[in-house]
Amino acid sequence: AGLDATLAALRAGKRVALANKETLVVAGELATQAAREGGGEIVPVDSEHSAILQCLTGRPADQVRRLILTASGGPFRDWSRQQLEHATLEDALRHPTWRMGRKITVDSATLANKALEVIEAHFLFGLPYQAIDIVVHPQSVVHSMVEFVDGSVLAQVGVPTMELPVLYALTHPERIAEPAIAPFDPVASSPLTFERVRLDDFPALRLGIEAGRTGGAAPAVFNAANEQAVALFLDGALSFVDIPRAIAAALDRLGGLPGGTREALLEADAAARRHVLGRY
C-alpha cells in the first residue's frame, strides 16, 4: 500500500514524509531512483530514522562511520527461548514503552520491525548494511545515534511519542516552536541503559537483515511473509515462534526471485503470502 503514490510523488519532484517503511523495504531501489530522477525527497517519519536525519543534517556523508538504531527490545526482552515457545497474543501485545497498532506491536515483539528499519535506513542514508548497528535500549528515550569517523557520537533523545518525529518530517530542515510537545526532563528519564541484541533468540531480525543484504526480491519476500504470518498469529492460527519459521521457509523458497521492477516485486510479494498461507 502506498507504493505507486510514493513513486509518483517522487518522480514529480515532491517531498514525501514517509511513515510507511514497507515502501522502502519492498522497493527501496525504485523509490531512491525515482527521487534521484524526479528531484523528489524522502523524509522519514519513523522516530529512529528521524533521529538519524536530525543528527546527519548539514554533515557530509563521508564523515559518517556507522548508524546505531535503538530497539526497545519489546515485551519479550527478558524472556528465554523456552519461554518464547509459550508466548501468547496477549503477551506479544503488551509493549513496555510504545502505544501502537497490533501488527507493529507484534513486529516489535519479534524484532522484525527492527529488521525493516535497518533496510529502510540503508536506502534512506545510503550506508552499507555493515555500517548499520542495533542496540537494545529499553527506555526508548535515545531514538538513534550516529557515530562519525573521529569517534564522536551524536544522539537524538526525547520521550517515546510520535509528535516530534511527525513535526520534524513536516518542517525539515527547519524547526518550529510547538507548545504541545512537552519539554524533555533528563532526570525523570533516567536511568538510560543499553544491551546487546539477542539475535539467536529473535531470528526474524537476522532473517530480515540477511534479506536486505541479499537484495533483489528478498526484502519484499521477507516483508510479505512476515505480514501474512503476523496476520495468522493475530487470528490464532499459528504460534509466536512460528512467525520467523514461516518467514524462513518463504525466503528459502522465494528469496532468490529477481527484483528490479514494480511487477516483479509485487509478484514476489504475492508469492510469499501464498506460500505462508499454504503452510498454515
- Domain boundaries along the sequence of the chain: 3-270
Range of weakest confidence among 117-126, 145-154, 173-182, 261-270: 173-182
Name the helix (H) or strand (E) containing 42.
strand 41-44
Question: Model confidence at 100, in pLDDT bands (50, 70, 90)?
Answer: confident
| φ and ψ at residue 155, rounded to 5 degrees | -130, 150
pLDDT surpasses 80 at 96: no
> Which is more confidently placed, 163 or 94?
163
Question: Model confidence at 78, in pLDDT bands (50, 70, 90)?
Answer: very high
> Which is more confidently placed, 96 or 36?
36
The grid coordinates listed for 124 are 534512506
Question: Model confidence at 101, in pLDDT bands (50, 70, 90)?
Answer: confident
Euclidean distance between CA atoms 53 and 146, whole angstroms: 9
pTM here is: 0.95
pLDDT at position 89: 93
Mean pLDDT over 212-235 rounds to 98
Burial of 70: CB neighbours in 10 Å, binned 0-12, 13-18, 19+: buried
ω into 75 cis (within 30 of 0): no
Range of weakest confidence among 8-17, 129-138, 176-185: 176-185
What is the CA angle 232-259-108, rounded to 5? Answer: 35
pLDDT surpasses 80 at 175: yes
What average pLDDT does the chain have? Answer: 95
For residue 31, give the 3-state DSSP assignment: helix
Range of weakest confidence among 42-46, 50-54, 146-150, 180-184: 180-184
pLDDT at position 1: 65
The grid coordinates listed for 54 are 536530525
pLDDT surpasses 80 at 66: yes
The set of residues, in sequence order, having a beta carbon less than 8 Å from that of 174 and lying 6+ positions away, is none
Range of weakest confidence among 40-44, 57-61, 205-209: 57-61
| φ and ψ at residue 146, rounded to 5 degrees | -125, 125
Euclidean distance between CA atoms 190 and 139, whole angstroms: 9
For residue 265, give the 3-state DSSP assignment: helix
pLDDT surpasses 90 at 95: no
